[in-house]
């Protein structure tokens, strides 16, 4: 039964991901004219005298990208009503390619979308994973250590509430002006990764960590306060429970009581926030990558939206949706691990 429930949750997550990217595909293509968009792109790249060549090139590109066919299986025309097009439509072609791992080609770069995403993830993966790991570690470690120190806890909560009230771009700009400014403290580079570092970043983790210090710090300072405040409230609630008094009466120290008894139960309310942590960090990377000039997923999605490069936009947004659904799926697993009373329900 447990295996069936797990498979059902996986199938439901896959169905939700398919629904999200399908709606994005249909809405993005239904609200724009691909022929006009490609013609404008070619006008910016060719000489005004090459009008005939542009028209021919536009038709070639429409055929190459599969944009010269109807959008969906059916279309409505006022004169003839509903028309059925069968499998000869853009959505069916895109869905078939997606099932084979083909995300299409970028309209602007004429490069496979999967290749562009892979290049962007070389920057975004270390940024988001480090930020998520440090956010959870800082929230759990500091909150637990200060939970039985009233003075330190009071000041820590004030700092957490202050950081939580500040927008991410303000935190990032503050760190940039303070620690990457020749007029203040020029300890770190103003840009997350200098030219040429990305290709060797994974082989030289020390250089990567140094270059990503300020971007990661921005995301951590923006993410961990919510986790810390929630965990502190849960810990204080657990301190009032009878089992905590029993552990103390048996001679356990306050620190041992927190780490061995109350923390496990206090983590349960935190799981819900953890499901939003990685998606929110991925969303926050858009701001951080723009400020620190990182050519990662955030900038790739932002540029694709501005240029109406729909294959890239769909690939990036689909990846973010997959991360969110995977986080929610992992939350179900964590609930059942932390508390046997929770079980995956089919």
Q: What is the pLDDT of residues 118-160, one digit of tens each?
A: 888 877 888 888 888 898 888 888 888 887 788 888 898 898 8
**Whole-number pLDDT of residue 338:** 63
Strand partners, 112: 105
**Whole-number pLDDT of residue 274:** 74
pLDDT less than 70: residues of the chain: 1-3, 5-6, 9, 32-55, 57-59, 61-66, 68, 190-206, 252, 335-346
For helices 263-291 and 168-179, give the axis angle rounded to 10 degrees.
Answer: 70
Give residues with Cβ within 8 angstroms of 40, minimum separation 6: none
**Whole-number pLDDT of residue 1:** 43
pTM of the model as a whole = 0.72
Output b/e per residue, 96-133; b: 16+ Cβ within 10 A.
eebeeeebbbbbbeeebbeebbeebbbbbebbbebbbe
Q: For residue 40, give the 3-state DSSP assignment.
A: helix
Q: Provide the pairing of β-strand 74-77 with 81-84.
A: antiparallel
**Whole-number pLDDT of residue 61:** 67
**Whole-number pLDDT of residue 179:** 83
DSSP state of 174: H
**Whole-number pLDDT of residue 195:** 46
**Whole-number pLDDT of residue 346:** 44
**Whole-number pLDDT of residue 66:** 67
What are the residue ranges of helices labelled H in 212-262?
Answer: 213-239, 242-249, 254-257
Sign of the dihedral through C-alpha 162, 163, 167, 170: positive
């Amino acid at each position: 039964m447990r295996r069936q429930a797990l498979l059902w949750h996986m199938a439901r997550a896959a169905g939700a991901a398919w629904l999200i990217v399908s709606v994005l595909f249909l809405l993005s293509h239904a609200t724009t004219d691909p022929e006009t968009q490609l013609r404008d792109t070619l006008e910016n790249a060719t000489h005004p005298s090459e009008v005939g060549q542009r028209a021919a090139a536009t038709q070639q590109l429409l055929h190459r990208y599969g944009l010269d066919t109807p959008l969906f299986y059916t279309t409505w025309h006022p004169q003839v009503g509903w028309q059925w097009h069968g499998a000869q439509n853009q959505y069916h072609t895109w869905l078939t390619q997606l099932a084979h791992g083909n995300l299409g080609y970028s309209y602007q770069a004429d490069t496979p979308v999967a290749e562009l995403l892979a290049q962007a993830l070389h920057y975004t993966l270390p940024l988001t994973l480090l930020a998520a790991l440090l956010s959870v570690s800082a929230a759990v470690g500091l909150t637990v250590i200060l939970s039985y120190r009233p003075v330190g806890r009071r000041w820590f909560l004030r700092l957490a509430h202050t950081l939580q009230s500040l927008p991410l771009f303000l935190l990032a700009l503050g760190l940039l002006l303070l620690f990457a400014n020749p007029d203040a403290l020029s300890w770190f580079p103003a840009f997350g990764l200098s030219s040429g570092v990305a290709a060797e970043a994974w082989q030289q983790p020390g250089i990567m960590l140094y270059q990503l210090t300020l971007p990661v710090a921005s995301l951590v300072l923006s993410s961990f306060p919510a986790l810390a405040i929630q965990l502190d409230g849960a810990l204080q609630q657990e301190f009032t429970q009878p089992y905590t008094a029993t552990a103390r009466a048996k001679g356990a120290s306050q620190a041992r009581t927190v780490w061995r008894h109350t923390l496990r139960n206090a983590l349960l309310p935190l799981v819900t926030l953890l499901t939003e942590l990685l998606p929110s960090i991925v969303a926050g990377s858009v701001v951080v990558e723009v400020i620190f000039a990182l050519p990662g997923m955030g900038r790739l999605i932002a540029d694709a939206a501005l240029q109406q490069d729909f294959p890239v936009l769909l690939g990036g947004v689909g990846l973010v949706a997959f991360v969110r659904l995977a986080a929610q799926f992992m939350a179900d697993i964590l609930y059942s691990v932390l508390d046997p009373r929770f079980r995956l329900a089919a």
